[in-house]
A and B are shown apart, each in its own frame.
Chain A
């Protein structure tokens, strides 16, 4: 049987890094192949080569046994290779239909919108998705955007689908829908490459798994013939703790008091309908819930990036609702945003610039007029080491960092107490482990716990119930713009949480 894809001896250098070091990889027809590896292991690079975004320095690509050269995504698409990127590339101001036909040659000069629209709807339905081709992309949830990305590929008859960390933006429900669709595609004979950091997903969906480490393939194996701890060991090179023993600390005074907070979302709909929540010092409060129930709006209002329509947010007795972001930063609020790439990282600026994007204006890095670059570079070196950000140099542009390293960069900026070398009073962490490999996830958990021990209050937004239960002192369930229940991790009933997340009325046991 000829393999659908076969990559042989792929080498790719970037200035200062060897991203792919003699990589061999195969994909079979009808197979879901998980690609696993630490942040910066070279997974995205390898796939970008197959998708024609990068040229390999050496190595050969075979598709269905034929040696080919892929010099652009256009070529790749013609060969049936499609990729959904780690960060979506849809145009928000266009409709789904427009996004799908954009760049499509076959439609010709005159576009038969009606026909295509019908075809797309049918295609979506065959995978169990309900989509209106005339909706605008900005109106879609992350899960729907991803469906559109996939439809775009399927509509172009892609037989080889590459998904780069597709689940990091999805809700559990959306994941389930995606997995069903992927399995169906595999049954139809397509080959699917599935990049992920989550080991349970590897076992839930893949037929084979390949682990990469520092640019090389460590192993390729049938998924059924391996287990979690073996894979983790291959990935990190050491045994990994899957759960952290958290000692409970005694919470002291309040870090933040949120009262009857209301706010609108981007579409002008009331997304926070009266949130009441307190986070104490030394305490981690996990907020769980299905994504899109107001979590994003909540953290944005706290960070000063969204207007509060009503209610108050007290920090040290000061109401920060509708204060400017810089004032809130100065009050000691660290903020790890839900979508870091959107507004939090400047891709064309260097790593140092991005690290010091907030701290540059405070002592000792600035005297009010001039910036002390020497101090900044010294501190940056330290941060890179502490947070294990892998990059050739401090003046590398942020856009050349791997997805996970970008997340580490944000963590370094927000958690290192750059401002005045104090620890943050409140850390608002929205999905801080998204896109991180297991080693780094462990590191984030430890860091958050350490800060809570030192006295920070932590508001931790998560989708992963187990993760939230593991590190939180209290867990709040959010549904439809409200906190519908608060629990202590010891005294919960998973079923009850599930019901609350789904919006079923349960008497909260506060």
Chain B
């Protein structure tokens, strides 16, 4: 009992028993709006008119050409996020989508080079083999930490993160070294990909074919999670490892296979960068799509359908970032900053969803 004469404030943090879907959506939206508000403050401080900045950002989604550009960016982000949704479902905190994407780029470029330099693969097989290779390599890159976690309880956050750097530097090494285009005037670039190895072959425009690929993958992920044995196992493993063990679920198998599929899908995301957006391999080809995918998948609450629009939104932010850099001369870091802000507020929002905070004034008897 408080003995002081002043009236105390009581702050209570309680776990909510239920939270409705409506509340959930509402908090997420408020989080985004607040994030933009705070970013606006920041823009004002560095001497910009936030309204102008936001009109540029809004403009991205209003102009057909820029929207198409946002779609393109959304494709690798969305694919990586779909992969992550499988990993996160089983509580495998994969931070490594970025590295898995680099491995996907590396593998698909490898196939192109085999074809271009050695003529080993017939034209019509190149793209399919690239997809296969990207999936396998990305998958292996995620499978390894998954296996280590399942067998030896090695923390996956560390391993997947470290493997990002390994993958990125491996690409750097190849492209500055043996894979550099001999006719490229010494630039660190691979040979340009031949037309039939690009995703544009599908509809003439990468965005359309890519979007189709994204939607198809979403369907597959949905089916895996909802209708397959593996999906059910992922869910139980994600709930609690001991419970899964008691139910006779083969933990290492589930985690390894789940990790493989997750990484494989991210690997295909990597493929869409080189064979869709850029058309060749270059160092640092991903401006952090694999990290953005983490935000996307959390925002979408692991729902594969939501991942598509949310990726488009973040794809748009990337495009807006480029435009802002070019027109208003905002430093590139600003783009990353408002992404980070959104992330921060989402995390706060998640907390508010789960816990009820009440502040009352007065002595509680």
- What is the interface of chain A, defined by CB distance below 8 A to chain B? 54, 68, 71-72, 74-75, 78-79, 303-305, 324-329, 337, 342-346, 348-349, 353, 357-358, 360-361, 366, 368-371, 373
Cα(A371)–Cα(B235), bound, Å: 13
Q: A72-B12, A74-B12 are in contact. Are A357 and B236 (CB under 8 A)?
A: yes
Distance of A158 from chain B, by nearest CB (Å)? 15
Decide if A79 touches B229 in the complex (CB within 8 Å): no
Is B364 a contact partner of A368 (Cβ separation < 8 A)? no
Question: Which B residues from 221 to 249 make CB contacts under 8 A with A?
Answer: 227-229, 231-232, 235-236, 239-240, 242-243, 245-249
Q: List 19 A-B contacts (CB under 8 A).
A: A71-B12, A74-B12, A304-B248, A325-B246, A325-B248, A328-B248, A345-B243, A346-B240, A349-B235, A349-B236, A349-B239, A353-B232, A353-B235, A357-B243, A360-B232, A361-B229, A368-B229, A370-B229, A371-B229
Contact B227 A373 (CB under 8 A): yes
Q: Is the CB of B227 within 8 A of A370?
A: yes
Cβ of A68: which chain B residues have Cβ within 8 Å of it? 365
In the assembly, what is the distance between CA of A366 and CA of B228, in Å?
8
Bound CA span A329–B247, Å = 9
Q: Which residues of A contact B30 (CB under 8 A)?
A: none
Min distance, Cβ B96 to any Cβ of chain A, angstroms: 26
B14 at the interface (CB under 8 A from A): yes
**Shortest beta-carbon distance, B57 to chain A, in Å?**
37
B239 is contacted by which of A344, A348, A361, A370 (Cβ under 8 Å)?
A348
Residues of chain B lying within 8 A (CB to CB) of residue A305: 245-246
Contact A325 B245 (CB under 8 A): yes
A-chain residues with CB within 8 Å of residue B231 when the two chains form the complex? 371
B250 on interface, CB distance cutoff 8 Å: yes
Residue of B nearest to A329 (CB): B248
- Which listed residue, B12, B239, B250, B364, touches A324 by the CB 8 Å rule? B250
Inside 8 A of A329's CB, which chain B residues have their CB?
248
Contact between chains at B243 and A346 (CB < 8 Å):
yes
Residues of A within 8 A of B364 (CB): 74-75, 78
Which A-B residue pairs are the 5 nearest by beta carbons?
A326-B248, A325-B248, A346-B239, A343-B242, A357-B247
**B365–A78 touching, CB < 8 Å:** yes
A369 to B231, CA, bound (A): 10
A502 to chain B, nearest CB (A): 33
A371 close to B240 (CB less than 8 A): no
Bound CA span A33–B359, Å: 36
B1 sits at the interface (CB 8 A): yes
A361 to B230, CA, bound (A): 9
Contact of B17 with A by CB under 8 A? yes
Closest A residue by C-beta to B231: A371
Within 8 A of A (CB), among B32-49: none
Q: Which residue of B12, B227, B236, B358 contacts A371 across the interface (Cβ within 8 Å)?
A: B227
Count of interface residues, chain B, beta-carbon cutoff 8 Å: 24
CA distance A303 to B246 in the complex (A): 8
Alpha-carbon gap, A54 to B18, bound state (A):
11
- Cβ-defined contact, A343 with B229, below 8 A: no
The smallest beta-carbon distance between B7 and chain A, in angstroms, is 16
Expressed in whole angstroms, the minimum distance between the Cβ of B224 and any Cβ of chain A is 10
Q: How far is the CB of B226 from chain A (nearest CB, A)?
A: 8
Neighbouring B residues of A304 by C-beta, 8 Å: 248
Report B104 CB to chain A, min CB distance, Å.
25
Given A72, A343, A369, which contacts B228 in the complex, CB threshold below 8 Å? A369
Q: Are B248 and A353 in contact (CB under 8 A)?
A: no
B-side contacts of A358, CB under 8 Å: 247-248
Q: CB-CB < 8 A to B365: which residues of A?
A: 68, 78-79
CA distance A305 to B12 in the complex (A): 41
Residue in B closest to A344 when the chains form the complex, CB atoms: B246
Whether A343 lies near B14 (C-beta < 8 A) is no
- The interface bits of chain B over 15-38 (1 if a CB of A lies within 8 angstroms of the residue's CB, else 0) are 001000000000000000000000
Q: How far is the CA of A433 from the CA of B245 in the complex (A)?
A: 24
Q: Which residue of B lies closest to A106 (CB)?
A: B1
Residues of A within 8 A of B229 (CB): 360-361, 366, 368-371
Q: Which of chain B's residues has its CB closest to A372's CB?
A: B227
The distance in angstroms between the C-alpha atoms of A342 and B245, with both chains bound, is 12
Q: A343 contacts B245, CB within 8 Å?
A: yes
Contacts of B1 in A (CB 8 A): 78
- B2 → chain A, closest Cβ, in Å? 10
- Given A325-B247, A326-B250, 14 more A-B residue pairs with CB atoms under 8 Å apart are A54-B17, A71-B12, A71-B358, A74-B12, A78-B1, A79-B365, A305-B245, A327-B248, A328-B248, A346-B243, A357-B247, A360-B229, A370-B228, A371-B227
Between B232, B243, B248, the greatest number of chain A beta carbons within 10 A of the residue's beta carbon is seen for B248
In the complex, what residues of B have CB within 8 A of residue A327's CB? 248
- The residue on B at minimum CB distance from A373 is B227
Contacting residues, chain A, for B248 (C-beta < 8 A)? 304, 324-329, 358
CB distance from B232 to the nearest CB of A (A): 5
> What separation, in Å, do the CA atoms of A44 and B250 have in the docked complex?
36
Minimum CB–CB distance for A132 against chain B, Å: 28
Q: Find out whether the CB atom of A346 lies under 8 angstroms from the CB atom of B236.
A: yes
CA of A309 to CA of B96 in the docked complex: distance in angstroms? 40
Closest to B360 in A: A71
- Indicate if the CB atoms of A343 and B240 lie closer than 8 Å: yes
Residue among B1, B14, B232, B358 with the most chain A CB within 10 A?
B232
Q: List residues of chain A with CB within 8 A of the CB of B14.
A: 72
Interfacial chain B residues near A54, Cβ < 8 Å: 17
Q: What separation, in Å, do the CA atoms of A349 and B17 have in the docked complex?
A: 15
Q: How far is the CA of A324 from the CA of B248 in the complex (A)?
A: 7
Nearest residue (CB) in B for A342 is B242
- Residues of chain B within 8 A of A303, CB atoms compared: 246
How near does chain B come to A416, taking the closest CB pair, in angstroms? 15
B55 to chain A, nearest CB (A): 43
Chain B contacts for A357, CB-based, 8 A: 236, 243, 247
Shortest distance between the CB of B33 and any CB in chain A (Å): 30
Tell which of B14, B228, B247 has the most Cβ of chain A within 10 Å.
B247
Selected from A71, A343, A360, the residue in CB contact (under 8 A) with B246 is A343
Produce 1/0 per residue, B178-213, CB < 8 A to A.
000000000000000000000000000000000000
